[in-house]
Amino acid sequence: MIPVCEPTLTGKELEYVTECLTTNWISSRGRFLEEFQDQFAEYCSCKYGIATTNGTTALHLALAALEIGEGDEVIVPAFTMAACIDAIMYTGAKPVLVDATVDTWSMDVSKVEEKISSKTKAIMAVHIYGHPCDMDHLAQLAKRYNIAILEDAAEAHGAEYKGQKIGSIGDISAFSFYANKIITTGEGGMVVTNNEELADRARRLADLAHSPDQRFVHTEVGFNYRMTNMQAALGVAQMTAIDEFVEARRTHAHSYNQQLQEVPGLTFPVEKSWAKNVYWMYGILVDEAVFGISRDELMASLREKGIETRAFFYPMHQQPGFQDQGLFHQEEYPVAEKLGMTGLYLPSSSGLTESQIAEVCAAVVDIAEQ
């Protein structure tokens, strides 16, 4: 089976994790944590990095650092991963959805302003599947309405917007290092920012809000979102290959594009002139009327041929768990709905070989011709 995504752990991962075990630095202090936070923040052109337990807690921490809470609203794409909505709900704020664009699949920034109210405190810009969200328009709105921008860059390590690294554009950003991400720490996440005040607040909240002056005096309700030194050891090892992983994913996307472009009824990922897409996942849309079979049928046929795929995210307004909370009833986001119904991603690991890509493409072509 060609897996849809697997990590590449062929560097110093084992050596560094072993060092944690043999030196007893296994909790949330140690040399790897400092190194990983510094190296990753610098990679994102940010001054500060605060490592967390995962990407969801990084998002929550970033929202908490921005002091978002009950009575506030946060604008977020309808086509995203549930963690975005969850993190907003943890703060007591209300998520307000915006549809996706048909080409980049990220939030349609032209539809954001109509969703801004006196309660809007932040816009969560999600760089979906590795393609950056169009940030300039959001920056203008943020300035005009005095609202913050939180980048959810969980899927976009190394992506660029107009030559600037994703993660350094908004006020504060969150990354994930889950095993399928461009670099991984097993589970893990990081908040990055260039704002010293936000960084201090995020660092304090991630560690139970100990008072800076006196340990075990807690200035507010905090969280334990601390990453372990063992996770950070993986992160430091992965950092040595991050550019290689990004380039591999871009090369793979180019190969897929070339080998699949003649197949009727498929839509491929784009790279806008202003963007560097890191193709975290190589997604395609299946137009059943032209391709001949549905997305789900294509996924099933590929599975029979030993190729694992995943369906795109189902839109947030259609999630029963959020509807049960009284959210998003009667709301419609046609682009997000179409993406959720017709999108799938093909194997996308950084370690994929050209012959595996050729095998996947041959299988898609074969199914299309039947």
Residues paired with residue 76 on neighbouring β-strands, in sequence order: 97
Please tell me the distance from the alpha carbon of residue 42 to that of residue 45, in angstroms, as a whole number: 5
* b/e sequence 212-223, b meaning 16+ C-beta within 10 Å: eeeeeeeeeebb
Q: Which is nearer to ligand PLP, 227 or 367 (CB)?
A: 227
| Choice among 181, 272, 276, 338 that is catalytic | 181
Triad 85, 90, 93: Cα angle to 5°: 75
Nearer to ligand PLP, 131 or 363 (CB): 131
Please say which residue, 155 or 271, places its beta carbon nearer to ligand PLP. Answer: 155
165 is catalytic: no
Q: How far is the CB of 190 from ligand PLP (least distance, A)?
A: 10
How does DSSP assign 95-141, residue by residue? EEEEPBPTTT-SB-GGGTGGG--TTEEEEEEE-GGGPPP-HHHHHHH
What is the smallest separation between the CB atom of 158 and ligand PLP, expressed in angstroms?
Answer: 15
* Number of H-type helices and E-type strands within the chain: 13, 14
144, burial (CB in 10 Å: exposed 0-12, middle 13-18, buried 19+): exposed
133 or 241: whose CB is closer to ligand PLP? Answer: 133
Q: How far is the CB of 77 from ligand PLP (least distance, A)?
A: 9
Beta carbon of residue 146, minimum distance to ligand PLP (angstroms, whole number): 25
Residues in the chain: 370
Binding site for ligand PLP (CB under 6 A): 54-56, 59, 80-81, 83-84, 126, 152, 154-155, 176, 178, 189
Q: Which residue is nearest to ligand PLP (CB)?
A: 55
Q: What is the dihedral of CA 57, 58, 64, 70, to 10 degrees?
A: -50
Catalytic residues: 181
